[in-house]
Chains A and B, each alone.
Chain A
Amino acid sequence: MAALAPIGTVVGRGVVVPGDDIDTDRIIPARYLRCVTFDDLAEGLFRDERIGNDGLPTGHPLDRSEHAGATVLVSGRNFGCGSSREHAPQAIARAGFRAVIAGSFAEIFFANSTTLGLVCLSLDEEPLAELRSAVQAAPAVELTLDVPSATVTMGERSFQGHLPESARSALLAGRYDPLSELLAGAEAVRRVADSLPYVRATGGRR
């Protein structure tokens, strides 16, 4: 497998999608999951919040001209809760985002995102609220997200965030997709498989 580029910083403009507990059904409604590739997912991103019942745009932050080209999505607590669908981070990444800043992340969403190299930085309540207001007030100002220090800087201001060590080191080493490393453990995998009666019971190659 080709090596991935290390991710040390993400620089870009932000857009705030307000709310806590934003679930994956909102990020990408289930009807967009009727697909066998991830190619066309960007179109479904927050679709039901962006287009009203009347078929007209609702003026969602993602559609406002001042946020066009934003690459950092800023939201609230427990972002990405709900289903395990990787379609959610895929849709976010395919819509051009490279990082999500939130109060906290649902676990499966966090793992899925990290594997794709979509950086998920969590911020405590107060700094997060401050950052959200700053982005809303000055949408043209770029954010700089620094992976080694888990901080995000906007103009003069800097906010300390949290990034689990496993994700931080993986991003910095360009090893956030674990597959090559997992493949390299094949011999040890065989030993574990052979030690488990329920696995041995089905025979076959191990």
Chain B
Amino acid sequence: MPPRTLFDKVWEAHAVRSLDNGQTQLFIGTHLIHEVTSPQAFGMLDDLGLPVRMPQRTFATVDHIVPTDRREEPFDDELADQMIKALRTNCTRHGITYFDLHSGLQGIVHMVGPELGITQPGSTIACGDSHTSTHGAFGAVAFGIGTSGVRDVLATQTLAMSRPKVRRVEVVGALAPGVFAKDVILHIIRTLGVNGGIGYAYEYAGEVFDAMSMEERMTVCNMSIEGGARCGYVNPDQTTIDYLEGRPYAPQGADWDAAVTRWRALASDPGAEYDDVVVIDATDIAPTVTWGINPGQAIAIDESIPHPERVPAHERASVEEALAHMQLTPGAPIRGTKIDVAFLGSCTNARLSDFREVAARLRGRRVAPGVKAIAVPGSTLVKEACEREGIDRVLEDAGFEWRAAGCSMCLAMNPDKLVGDQLCASSSNRNFKGRQGSASGRTVLMSPVMVAAAAVTGMVADAREVFGPAEAVA
């Protein structure tokens, strides 16, 4: 057999047949659902009188609408309350495993799959949520779908898909101290553009990804969609295997050994052909922040806000619109921009390692006066792990509010919202207009450590200067 990419191998193992329009009927081994994009799908199934074909392959949790402070039901928001009830009823009715609010396992759907070992190498994973690309960190082919897609998976365990091309994104060399996975993906999106990945699956490869932990790989894969790529993955290796061993839904005993053997064979073969290859030098990557209204509008922390007249003509209108919304001045440094809110959370960066990095720097420091700072763990398990390590106390002593798990201010479907034109230093993934709950609210995306630096200084800052060189942080 000619050398193949991981993508080829997984796609071929899951391709059911060709459809009339030339698309592939693709088997979806693992389906994740949450309260926002599933109720209508269950409704469609009911209208058609169809059962769920393989309920044992769908897993549910509740994340977008849950309050992160007062979690007792009924919720104050009647609509949110209806949504959690609908999810609960639909899962019970169809025999779907549901990690409910007080199960101890609830969290953002893209945190829950990996930490329970549901997310596995070589699988296909779909979810009615664009950040499903996160699961690609394990060498899965994972992508977001709409509600009709959720219906299709529930009814048939398959989707009609066009096969994407594969682009290898190689980041060679080593990252400088104080540069994080979030900076890597912001740099990639800035380099390849927010629509550069349309029609592609991204294979992240090279020394930088080899050296990353699973949590860092998830941060990168999570934002593939922000670069237009519906799915992004890292080839599984020993790091992947070590992460999964012993997790509740990972194979056990003899099954584990067999699975490991299969997983090791999944990585792209040497000599496999790619539709495109991009090589990025790790030393070009600095702590990166966004200045605009899409994640590609990003600069290194020591760069200045762009001048509309100095960008290519077709980008000018977008740049002007972004500057107007962000109330930023062309040519001014981004560093020093005053912030109102600091948000640590989201499926991009609310894992244990993120909070450890932040806590190591916040010990003995205080959030600047006038800054509202909230820390929202991505899952209940992350919350508990942080609390066992005393991370919650470090953050609270510094002036952060320590909350329960959910999406929170990443998209503000729950009560956590920006007010008016507040500017938020955010560890989330989208800086779209209105994303954090106020139409005129402003978002600056950055790594968790940079959010911590912004919180304590009250402005967008270089964490390396605020906390000292990364090596010095214990």
Does B413 contact A181, Cβ atoms closer than 8 Å? no
Q: Indicate whether A169 sits within 8 Å of B20 (C-beta atoms), given known contacts A81-B194, A164-B162, A189-B156.
A: yes
Q: Indicate whether A78 sits within 8 Å of B434 (C-beta atoms), given known contacts A25-B411, A111-B149, A169-B20.
A: no
Contact of B195 among A83, A106, A111, A206 (CB under 8 A): A106
Q: How far is the CA of A178 from the CA of B21 in the complex (A)?
A: 10
Contact of B79 among A34, A81, A185 (CB under 8 A): A34
Does B148 contact A86, Cβ atoms closer than 8 Å? yes
Does A37 contact B318, Cβ atoms closer than 8 Å? no
A residues less than 8 Å from B440 (CB atoms):
53
- B157 interface residue (CB < 8 Å to A): yes
Interface string of A82-98 (1 = CB under 8 A from B): 11111101000000000
B residues less than 8 Å from A175 (CB atoms):
20-21
Q: How far is the CA of A102 from the CA of B229 in the complex (A)?
A: 19
- B314 interface residue (CB < 8 Å to A): yes
Name which of A16-24, A141-149, A151-159 contacts chain B: A16-24
Interface string of B146-172 (1 = CB under 8 A from A): 111101100111111010000000000
Name which of B255-263, B329-337, B352-360 contacts chain A: B255-263
Number of interface residues of A (CB under 8 A): 69
Does B54 contact A48, Cβ atoms closer than 8 Å? no
Q: Smallest Cβ distance from A185 to chain B, in angstroms?
A: 5
Does B29 contact A181, Cβ atoms closer than 8 Å? no
- B308 interface residue (CB < 8 Å to A): no
- A138 interface residue (CB < 8 Å to B): no
Does A106 contact B228, Cβ atoms closer than 8 Å? yes
Name which of A4-12, A59-67, A192-200 contacts chain B: A192-200
Q: Smallest Cβ distance from A176 to chain B, in angstroms?
A: 9
- B77 interface residue (CB < 8 Å to A): yes
- B404 interface residue (CB < 8 Å to A): no
Contact of B432 among A26, A165, A203 (CB under 8 A): A26
B residues less than 8 Å from A193 (CB atoms):
27, 54, 157
Residue ID in chain A nearest B19 by CB atoms: A181
Q: Indicate whether A183 sits within 8 Å of B155 (C-beta atoms), given known contacts A20-B317, A201-B255.
A: yes
Q: How far is the CA of A204 from the CA of B14 in the complex (A)?
A: 19
A residues less than 8 Å from B152 (CB atoms):
178-179, 182
Does A84 contact B146, Cβ atoms closer than 8 Å? yes
Does B432 contact A25, Cβ atoms closer than 8 Å? yes
Q: How far is the CA of A112 from the CA of B143 in the complex (A)?
A: 13
Q: How far is the CA of A125 from the CA of B122 in the complex (A)?
A: 39
A residues less than 8 Å from B50 (CB atoms):
183
Contact of A198 among B25, B123, B132, B321 (CB under 8 A): B123
Contact of B199 among A21, A29, A107 (CB under 8 A): A107
Q: How far is the CA of A54 from the CA of B13 in the complex (A)?
A: 55
Contact of B317 among A1, A19, A31 (CB under 8 A): A19
Does A177 contact B148, Cβ atoms closer than 8 Å? yes
Name which of B37-45, B235-243, B375-383 contacts chain A: B37-45
Does A23 contact B432, Cβ atoms closer than 8 Å? yes
- A30 interface residue (CB < 8 Å to B): yes
Interface string of B224-237 (1 = CB under 8 A from A): 01001010000000
Q: How far is the CA of A186 from the CA of B156 in the complex (A)?
A: 7
Contact of A185 among B37, B57, B64, B156 (CB under 8 A): B156
Does A192 contact B194, Cβ atoms closer than 8 Å? no
- A115 interface residue (CB < 8 Å to B): yes
Does A37 contact B40, Cβ atoms closer than 8 Å? yes
Contact of A82 among B156, B321, B432 (CB under 8 A): B432
Q: How far is the CA of A131 from the CA of B436 in the complex (A)?
A: 34
Q: Indicate whether A36 sits within 8 Å of B86 (C-beta atoms), given known contacts A107-B199, A182-B155.
A: yes
B residues less than 8 Å from A18 (CB atoms):
317
Contact of A192 among B16, B22, B143, B160 (CB under 8 A): B16
- B294 interface residue (CB < 8 Å to A): yes
Q: How far is the CA of A202 from the CA of B29 in the complex (A)?
A: 11
A residues less than 8 Å from B19 (CB atoms):
178, 181
Chain B 397-415 residues near chain A, CB threshold 8 A: 411-413
Q: Smallest Cβ distance from A154 to chain B, in angstroms?
A: 23
- B56 interface residue (CB < 8 Å to A): yes
Q: Indicate whether A85 sits within 8 Å of B146 (C-beta atoms), given known contacts A48-B434, A169-B21, A182-B152.
A: yes
Q: How far is the CA of A197 from the CA of B258 in the complex (A)?
A: 9
Q: Indicate whether A34 sits within 8 Å of B80 (C-beta atoms), given known contacts A25-B435, A182-B155.
A: yes
Q: Smallest Cβ distance from A134 to chain B, in angstroms?
A: 19
Does B29 contact A29, Cβ atoms closer than 8 Å? no
Q: How far is the CA of A37 from the CA of B41 in the complex (A)?
A: 9
Residue ID in chain A nearest B81 by CB atoms: A34
Chain A 100-114 residues near chain B, CB threshold 8 A: 104, 106-108, 111-112
- B278 interface residue (CB < 8 Å to A): no
Contact of B13 among A19, A182, A195 (CB under 8 A): A195
A residues less than 8 Å from B437 (CB atoms):
30-31
Can you spell out 27 A-B residue pairs with CB atoms less than 8 angstroms apart? A19-B321, A21-B318, A25-B433, A33-B36, A34-B413, A38-B147, A83-B144, A86-B37, A86-B146, A86-B147, A104-B198, A107-B198, A107-B199, A107-B230, A111-B146, A125-B314, A165-B22, A179-B151, A182-B156, A188-B25, A193-B54, A195-B13, A196-B13, A196-B14, A201-B251, A202-B56, A206-B54
Known: A20-B315, A78-B194. 7 other contacts (CB 8 A): A30-B413, A36-B43, A164-B162, A181-B25, A182-B156, A196-B29, A197-B255
* Interface residues, chain A, with chain B CB atoms under 8 Å away: 1, 18-21, 23, 25-26, 29-31, 33-38, 48, 53, 77-78, 81-87, 89, 104, 106-108, 111-112, 115-116, 125, 164-167, 169-170, 173, 175, 177-179, 181-183, 185-186, 188-189, 192-193, 195-199, 201-206
* Interface residues, chain B, with chain A CB atoms under 8 Å away: 13-17, 19-23, 25, 27, 29-30, 36-37, 39-40, 43, 48, 50, 53-57, 64-65, 77, 79-80, 82-83, 86, 120, 122-123, 128-130, 132, 143-149, 151-152, 155-160, 162, 194-195, 198-199, 225, 228, 230, 251, 255, 258-259, 262, 294, 314-315, 317-318, 321, 411-413, 420, 430, 432-435, 437, 439-440
The 10 closest A-B pairs by CB, nearest first: A86-B146, A112-B146, A204-B56, A84-B144, A48-B439, A178-B160, A34-B79, A36-B39, A86-B147, A78-B195
